[in-house]
Amino acid sequence: MALLVRELQRSAKEAVTDDEDRWRLVFDTDTKRLYVEHEWRHSEAREAGRSGQGKEQIEIPDYLTQAGQTAGHRELWRLIQALFGEAH
């Protein structure tokens, strides 16, 4: 399986080195599927007894309709506009 991956956004707490969220645009060349991957690692969650790391796949429309307008959302919109030749 070959994956083409482009980072959309990364956020981390500066004071904690092991506390990070990453969002990536992923294209699976075998299944021809395009999606957003969210990967997280949170040290505080482990202290509270919850899983401190994980990964999920989010469908593009679901990602774009999540609350808030993050840097990741803006980057994905920019990539979509560039793909279809819509310049501002």
Model pLDDT, residue 87? 60
Q: Establish if 71 belongs to a structural domain.
A: yes
H helices of the chain, in order, are: 43-47, 60-64, 71-83
d(CA 87, CA 65): 22
Widest Cα–Cα separation across the chain: 48
Q: Could you tell me which residues are beta bridge partners of residue 11? A: 21
Tokens 């774009």 -> residue:
64
Segments forming the whole domain that contains residue 16:
3-83
Quote the radius of gyration of the chain (alpha carbons, Å).
15
Q: Establish if 57 belongs to a structural domain.
A: yes
- pTM of the predicted structure, to 2 decimals: 0.78
The predicted-structure confidence for 43-59, as pLDDT tens digits, reads as follows 765 555 556 889 999 99
Q: Establish if 43 belongs to a structural domain.
A: yes
Q: Which residues of the chain have pLDDT under 70?
A: 13-18, 44-51, 86-88
Q: Establish if 88 belongs to a structural domain.
A: no
Model pLDDT, residue 10? 92
- When divided into structural domains, the chain yields a total of 1
Model pLDDT, residue 57? 97
Tokens 């990602």 -> residue:
63
83 membership: H or E segment, kind and range: helix 71-83
Model pLDDT, residue 16? 56
